[in-house]
Amino acid sequence: MNWNVFDAWDDPFGWTGSVARRSRLSGAGFPRLNVHGNEEELLVVGEIPGLNSDDLDITVKGRSLTLKGSRKIVELGEDENYSHRERTGGEFSRALTLPFEVDPDKVSANYENGTLSIHLPRTEKDKPRKIEVKVA
Amino acid sequence: MSNHDKEVEKMVFVPKVDVIEGKNNFTLRADLPGVVSEDVDVNLTGDLLTIAAKVKEYEARGLPMLYGEFVTGDYEVSFKVSNKVDKEKIEAELKDGVLTLTMPKAAEVKPRQIKVKAA
């Protein structure tokens, strides 16, 4: 038996949402990432709704950052079927090359409201140094 | 308030949605990353169910964006709920940016076991 719960699913014009389907920059993998930073620190942010943070591995080595994890979309019970499906799950992996070396001991990550934020401070030895010019 | 480089017009997105039919319920799940439960509004007017959510922009520590693959925005989607759903008993829950609506089936569509009496 396969009938739809929502009349709208049968009718492509049943959706009343007047806005376009969420469009993102193409070419990127999952999760989509934004990188913020300056010369001393970086912040990598990703949208991963419904993530169990135990299923996430963050690896930092020198100038490389790797995110590996799996997003579990709820498994169906015996009597359950999808009537409509757009969300995707499964394993993901993303690697980024950072503009400078970061200190792995000082990296911190926070997952809140489906958004992952990773803060990566630059290593001390790699930080740009100002050389003062003495006026004689 | 935006932490990002430029204040651009806020986008409104249609969230990705799954609907699962079970024996007694329909379950709808919508991805709403960046949304807290106080900022989701689920409204049923007649047959029309509307999910509207305001995004809470992430804290970028005042750091400028170097590279971007997504923009944040609010979410809105509406759909008609059929008579197969008991509209009085729809429940909503938000966790980790995923909204779950539990919609019990109306009594008339629930499978019923009819006992056959021995004569």
ipTM: 0.80
- Among A3, A24, A44, A86, most B C-beta atoms within 10 A, so best to mutate, is A86
Question: Do residues A103 and A124 lie in contact, with contact meaning Cβ atoms separated by under 8 Å?
Answer: yes
Q: Does residue A77 carry a pLDDT above 70?
A: yes
The helix/strand/coil state of A53 is: helix
Which pLDDT does position B6 carry in this prediction?
A: 52
Residues A55-67: what's their mean pLDDT?
92
Q: Does residue B10 carry a pLDDT above 60?
A: yes
- Compute how many other C-beta atoms are within 10 angstroms of the C-beta atom of residue B51: 23
- Among B20, B26, B27, B39, most A C-beta atoms within 10 A, so best to mutate, is B20
Which pLDDT does position A125 carry in this prediction?
A: 84
Among A75-79, A108-112, B37-41, where is mean pLDDT lowest?
A75-79
Residues A95-120: what's their mean pLDDT?
94
Question: Do residues B86 and A15 lie in contact, with contact meaning Cβ atoms separated by under 8 Å?
Answer: no
Question: Do residues B35 and A113 lie in contact, with contact meaning Cβ atoms separated by under 8 Å?
Answer: yes
Question: Do residues A86 and B17 lie in contact, with contact meaning Cβ atoms separated by under 8 Å?
Answer: yes
Nearest Cα residue in chain B from A30? B69
Q: Do A5 and B84 touch (CB under 8 A)?
A: yes
**How far apart are alpha carbons A92 and A56 in whole angstroms?**
9
Task: State how far the alpha carbon of A5 is from the alpha carbons of A14, A18, A49, B95, B111, in Å.
Answer: 13, 22, 24, 24, 15
Q: Do A47 and B97 touch (CB under 8 A)?
A: yes
Task: Tell me what the pLDDT averaged over chain A comes to.
Answer: 79
Higher pLDDT, A62 or B52: B52
φ/ψ region of B110 (left if φ > 0, alpha if ψ in -120 to 50, else beta) reads beta
Residues A114-120: what's their mean pLDDT?
96
| Per-residue tokens: A133 | 């010019």
Q: Which residues of A touch B18 (CB under 8 A)?
A: 73, 82, 84-87
- Answer whether B59 touches A (CB < 8 Å): yes
Which pLDDT does position A23 carry in this prediction?
A: 38
DSSP notation for B5-65: SS--PPEEEBPPEEEEE-SSEEEEEEE-TT--GGGEEEEEETTEEEEEE-------TTPPE
Q: Which residues of B touch A48 (CB under 8 A)?
A: 33, 97
Which pLDDT does position A104 carry in this prediction?
A: 92
Among A19-23, A55-59, B55-59, where is mean pLDDT lowest?
A19-23
List pLDDT tens digits, range B53-92. Answer: 999 999 999 999 998 999 999 999 998 998 889 999 999 9
Q: How much is the pTM?
A: 0.79
Tokens 């990296």, located at residue: A107
Q: Does residue A8 carry a pLDDT above 60?
A: no
Question: Do residues A7 and A14 lie in contact, with contact meaning Cβ atoms separated by under 8 Å?
Answer: yes
Cβ-based neighbours of A80, under 8 Å, separated by 6 or more: B20, B21, B22, B23, B27
